[in-house]
Amino acid sequence: MNDELKAVMAKAQEWLGPMYDEETRAAVKEMMDAEDKSALLDAFYRDLEFGTGGLRGIMGPGTNRMNKYIVAMATQGYANYLNKVAHDGGFEHLHDGQVSVVVGHDCRNNGRLFAETVADVFAANGIHVYLFESLRPTPEISFAIRQLGCQGGVNVTASHNPKEYNGYKAYWEDGSQVLQPHDVGIVKEVAKVKMEDVHFNGSKDLITIIGGEMDWDYLQAVHTVLIDQDVINRQKDLNIVYTPLHGTGRVIIPEALRSWGFRNIHVVPEQMVIDGNFPTVVSPNPENSEAMTLGMKLGTKLNADLVIASDPDADRLAIVCRNDKGEWVIINGNQTCMMFSWYIIANKKKLGKLRENDFLVKTIVSTELIKKIADKNGVTLFDEYTGFKWIANRIRMEEGKMNYIGGGEESFGFLPFDKVRDKDSPASICLICEIAAWAKDNGMTLYELLMNIYKEYGFQKETTINVVRPGKSGAEEIQQMMRDFRANAPKVLAGSKVVCTKDYQTLKKVEHGVESPIEMALGATSNVLQWFTESGLKVSVRPSGTEPKIKFYLEVPVAGFRGAEDYDDFNHRADAIVAELKKDLKL
């Protein structure tokens, strides 16, 4: 028996003790007794890392798995940190001097069990818990933290990950996912916790169940996103098909659309069933076209104008509309973000609602076309790191000085108002339907509007390549790839000279041979590299923070776009350049 297996066997042995339930002990014993120890090694070779965004992992027994014990230990560490900050006077407002939190969950298996475990541990540490009565969208958790004046919160969700996963997102008092220094502080506290340190059996008096009233308040807030009620009134019969992909948007999104004035809303019945096994899709990820198959099928039957989906925790959205040939096409995340940004600016300007201090936010890996749109219209644009906590941080930084009008990222997430501090699909879905209504009111489809934006600002294609490397060896390989790119950065990409390199780990930019600092919020660093070429190519590379993969984001501009008749040809031309980039990057 090698040293690694000995260490794993010793860790697993602890899980046979009385602190763990009979079902867990039996499952661990079975892995220990098996001739093939690979399952045991994967379940115990490391502790599931509580990172700056919380936890995410495959469900099951073990230290490298999502289960009620790992969730309880994480919550104990988070509770310790919250109480410590409160003791040190770090919170401006405490109700009767007591820390309070919001706890929610999505549709995933074990979601309710984990959420109730979280609530119990918080209460056992003297923290007042507002626990949602049942599953709710991620943005509503963020909204509730702000609405109730809480100091933090937890949402049990693995977003769009496969059914085997669950996760744990930690939030702070502004309703955003935790940022520095608190993220590091919580991570340190969680790392100290052992199972015997966890407090259970909290007072039920410290747990308040919330639901309908918060739904109402949230829907009222979503309604403030609406820009042009008149256009919706004229196009109230816009033919909309919606699917929640078995998740939390099931009730609240159709209700939000009705509150905006839309009257012709259809849902995909098979996917209105709440089910953490996601039986009708291979993966509940709106980025995957397969997840939209049933929606498009119903859209064809009903001759719908557009088909829309929210992911399981309803923070992200996907949009399908008809192209110039009448075929269904999925609007990708960059196009979605670009269209939102264009419409918000154009129609606020038209209605006299655009202000000098308005600003947009995008992530550094999202399309540069958004910057072109903002620059041409005199709107400030901030570039932030991937993850909506950074967009939320920018909103917080500019509060009282500037007015946030929207922000998004390439991975199908957008936030069109500041009453929530995370991606928000209910508000974004309502707004994209308003955009479709405006387009129809002006004799266009949503697709034709997209083509017009390309005509005005230039065509480019964005492609994301995910290189998956699971397990311990995979994580090491990904880190080695990043080291190699730093040591041997490309000088030419797809035949075009690299003129600018950005390294967000060192916060240094080298442009035309001149080095200068990169200024990012809070002076934060991130393991991201970017290369820009003479021809306008942009390549970004970063390891995923939540999954065993390294991601390459490619932006390929092609000049001379005239309209929809060019779209297929320009995509093919961009694909040829992408193929060259893949060879250069050895992908």
SS3 of residue 6 by DSSP: helix
Cβ-Cβ contacts under 8 Å for 235 (sequence gap 6 or more): 437, 438, 440, 441
> Distance between CA 34 and CA 121 in Å, rounded?
34
Name residues whose C-beta falls within 8 Å of residue 321's C-beta, 6 or more positions apart in sequence: 305, 306, 307, 328, 329, 331, 436, 445, 446, 447
- Could you tell me which of 371, 397, 380 has the C-alpha nearest to residue 555? 371
Q: Are β-strands 403-409 and 413-415 bridged in parallel, bridged antiparallel, or unpaired?
A: antiparallel
User: Would residue 526 show up in a list of annotated catalytic residues for this protein?
Assistant: no
The answer to whether the beta carbons of residues 533 and 497 sit under 8 Å apart is yes
Instruction: Identify the CA nearest to 420 among candidates 220, 272, 572, 245.
Output: 220
Q: Are 174 and 61 in contact (CB under 8 A)?
A: no
Chain centroid to Cα 316, Å, comes to 7
Residue 559 CA from chain centroid, whole number: 32
Query: Cα(559)–Cα(569) distance, rounded to whole angstroms?
Result: 12
How open is the CA angle 89-91-95, to the nearest 5 degrees?
105
| CB burial of residue 572 (10 Å; 0-12, 13-18, 19+) | exposed
Annotated catalytic residue within 38, 134, 142, 159? 159
Alpha carbon distance 431, 418 (integer Å): 14
- In this structure, the number of other CB atoms found within 10 A of the CB of residue 279 comes to 11
For residue 230, count CB atoms less than 10 angstroms from its CB and return exposed for 0-12, middle for 13-18, buried for 19 or more. Answer: exposed
- Distance in angstroms (rounded) separating the CA atoms of residues 141 and 257: 20
Phi, psi of 166, deg, nearest 5: -145, 170
Q: Which residues are annotated as catalytic?
A: 159
